[in-house]
Structure 1
């Protein structure tokens, strides 16, 4: 591809955060260019109907442009929108949901303004890092295996950044078998470290007293190892890791899923509960239930709740969490794939809540829901595209979309969570 420089006016943002404009009628995608801006770009990938270009310079700047506070923003790729005012990122996330539901879902619905954060920094309770041969830790650059080292990631707490620096300093001395590490932090500032693919107790406190003393002093409470099959070994510290959600305590295993933004999780779940409008008389299903966070919140207002989850560690956590929150008796957790387990339940749900992975609902799940005909479905989605696809199927099967509420769980990134309430149409 030649290095010919071309001028491009950005018309809008697409859902990965890139700007789009047209050169000789060809859609041209440019990372870093904002709507209303004109820039000099160089095309590096050309197809018949579209092309990608790199931003060389900005001729006309948008009033929504700001200086990204992160020093590695341009190289990392983990955040896509730090060059834009926060208020404008919320507007574009609303538009992306609108576009997906209209274009893919074929739906004419009103999408409410995105619920943002008052302080949209230091919100992540989890960070997955990779290691260079030198011992340096960092994130993989978007769509590559290039490691981006950072001194201070602004999406995680200052405390978690210190855990990373302490561990990184230790890893420069050896332990080449350690390649991937995951840190977690709860609402009390306590931490957990998971060493992926390292089930041994090589990192014993006896052999490395200085490291464990330093980590403990900074609030880290446990270090775990996991082998390639996912078997866990407690290397050091406390077995239980706790997180509070909607004033309820939860135990979280190192391999269990938990929403990464604790503050916005409360906002998200409160909205789900409001849309579910339970009266303590309903039978509720919570599909893709994880460690039971939303299941147990629903159980406080329902007659019975059944959670279905594939991850065995999460199911074990969920059962313990039900006991911890005195919900035994009207809460049940089933282990297995949602599309398999829901076929074997004979009871009729009044309300179904689901929070599927990015791929959305399995076709068999959609089919079964349309057979069961629950009065209300609350769909929590992390991908507007698959949400649009699934809502189209549900609307064709007799459901009406009542409300669509985006929630910003991942400030400064392209990602948006959406809560949709559907009611069954009465013939």
Structure 2
């Protein structure tokens, strides 16, 4: 076996002399532009031509720093016949790992802690395993669903050592919104607290120095807004991780009478599927007395006239709508009343609420939990201050209108979604001119409004969080306070770090269980100015996280 030798920072093939290796002896040639090497000095070795590396089996690319020591190493069976070569002490050591288990492999693991998304973290042969259907502290047998380079996705098939917080599951366990159904509810709240703390620490560089308590919710009948899916056989939710429609009966997310209503809708599933209806948006009022269904479609709803007429005649359905005609404002009404309404005082009691009501169409965005929404609105209203409030991503005006009725001043509500703007304008008209509606993307509004000094800004963005442009322009506008409402703690933590770089400090954190039996948690964070923008993070790195206080509530 031939060995390469390094001279003066260049690699050359071994020759017959110890001091100089002749390139011609190995079939290579020096570049015509470079001089022949000095046989005495090894510092003037020229760079070999491209043909040289192809014609010499002893050549290997240099992967070590130029200052590496030259020491003889054993590179063949008889080390005495080899020339000196670069020591492997400074070469990168390959990472030794066991063979990645294929999908379908079965293994046993001990679960450590929860992670964002609802799975539990475990380890097997040096790899991270994210397990579904387990509880921290349990020893379980799992089957690998998907194998990646360093992470395995697995699901529990047998519990070998069960946690005392494990409980039996009622209804279809794999139906959507049931990820934590096997966990006792009090332990669910603890897991969500751990998820928030972990995300804030790892992604946002924030360490909560006080106990964080999640506002609890009744587990059953909490949903007053839902998206139902339609196939040729049934109407229901989707199974976790699939596009199969499952029976939501006894899932506990809807009121019992609403579950019976959905069961009756299933009789019209074949006709709706033929007409191109793939989803049904369902909206109820707080009490559950009003129920409006909205039918998005890809085909002509007229082809399912008999089907939608039958839906309108289903007991407890108070309204039925479909997509608006071209140029029309609001959904097309097929039957009944197109909106559900609630008194403004039911969300935030105040002298200004009086007999005012808040309306919404079924496709418009609105908070889903009928039991916790009041506490959420109260928490946001308590964090704003001053006479100027800006509500970005205002939806139908839940925060903007309630705050305007409570404290007056001037409230600007910014929204671009065509399904929410009609309701926002209708609700804001009740308090005109206190509430001003701006229909525009948030990026456009902030571009037109470069300064927000003295204002309190509420942001309640989609799950993806704030865009880079919104983060930049919002920080430049320098509002006194930012109240950040989010249903995705990971993207929120990412945005908090970015705002920390711009001189904002997190001073309060609150959490709300808007979706029991799932890993989702709603968080409300207050940020206040802590100084001018800097090039270094105002929020410390995860190794030395910033400490902030969290609001505590008794559940």
- Shared fold per TM-score greater than 0.5: yes
Contact 1:16 1:414 in 2 (8 A): yes
SS at match of 1:20: strand
User: What's the CA shift string for 1:18-73, capped at 9, x where partnerless?
Assistant: 2221111111122111111101223343233121233221111101111122x211
Say yes or no: does 1:374 pair with 2:472. Answer: no
Going from structure 1 to structure 2, the CA distance change for 1:331 and 1:33 (only over 3 Å counts) comes to same
Higher strand share: 1
**Shift in Å at residue 200 of structure 1?**
3.5
| Structure 2 equivalent of residue 139 of structure 1 | 237
Determine which structure has more spread, i.e. the larger CA radius of gyration. Answer: 2
| Structure 2 equivalent of residue 336 of structure 1 | 440
SS at match of 1:108: strand
Higher relative contact order (CA 8 A, sep 6+): 1
SS at match of 1:369: helix
Say yes or no: does 1:96 pair with 2:195. Answer: yes
**C-alpha distance in 2 between matches for 1:294 and 1:341:** 18
| Structure 2 equivalent of residue 319 of structure 1 | 425
**C-alpha distance in 1 between matches for 2:519 and 2:325:** 31
**C-alpha distance in 1 between matches for 2:309 and 2:423:** 31
Going from structure 1 to structure 2, the CA distance change for 1:199 and 1:409 (only over 3 Å counts) comes to farther
Say yes or no: does 1:274 pair with 2:382. Answer: yes
- After superposition, residues 292-311 of structure 1 pair within 5 angstroms as 292-299=397-404, 300-311=406-417
SS at match of 1:252: strand
Going from structure 1 to structure 2, the CA distance change for 1:426 and 1:131 (only over 3 Å counts) comes to closer
Say yes or no: does 1:348 pair with 2:452. Answer: yes
Match of 1:55 among 156, 170, 175: 156
Which has the higher mean CA deviation after the structures are superposed, 407-416 or 109-118?
109-118
- After superposition, residues 25-424 of structure 1 pair within 5 angstroms as 25-69=126-170, 71-73=171-173, 75-110=174-209, 112-134=211-233, 136-172=234-270, 176-177=274-275, 178-188=277-287, 189-197=289-297, 200=301, 212-213=312-313, 215=314, 218-226=315-323, 232-244=331-343, 245-246=347-348, 249-276=357-384, 278=385, 281-299=386-404, 300-324=406-430, 327-345=431-449, 348-349=452-453, 350-424=455-529
Going from structure 1 to structure 2, the CA distance change for 1:366 and 1:179 (only over 3 Å counts) comes to closer
Going from structure 1 to structure 2, the CA distance change for 1:98 and 1:4 (only over 3 Å counts) comes to closer
Match of 1:21 among 116, 122, 132: 122
User: What's the CA shift string for 1:353-392, capped at 9, x where partnerless?
Assistant: 1101111111121111221211111110111111111111
Contact 1:112 1:405 in 2 (8 A): no
**Shift in Å at residue 121 of structure 1?**
1.5
Contact 2:216 2:512 in 1 (8 A): no
Contact 1:199 1:233 in 2 (8 A): no
SS at match of 2:253: coil
**C-alpha distance in 1 between matches for 2:200 and 2:273:** 49
Contact 2:415 2:441 in 1 (8 A): yes
Contact 1:37 1:59 in 2 (8 A): yes
5+ unaligned residues in a row in structure 1: which ranges?
Answer: none
SS at match of 1:262: coil
**Shift in Å at residue 334 of structure 1?**
0.7
RMSD: 2.4
Contact 1:114 1:408 in 2 (8 A): no
- Number of aligned pairs? 415
Contact 1:38 1:58 in 2 (8 A): yes
SS at match of 2:511: strand
**C-alpha distance in 1 between matches for 2:403 and 2:272:** 48
> TM-score normalized by structure 1?
0.90
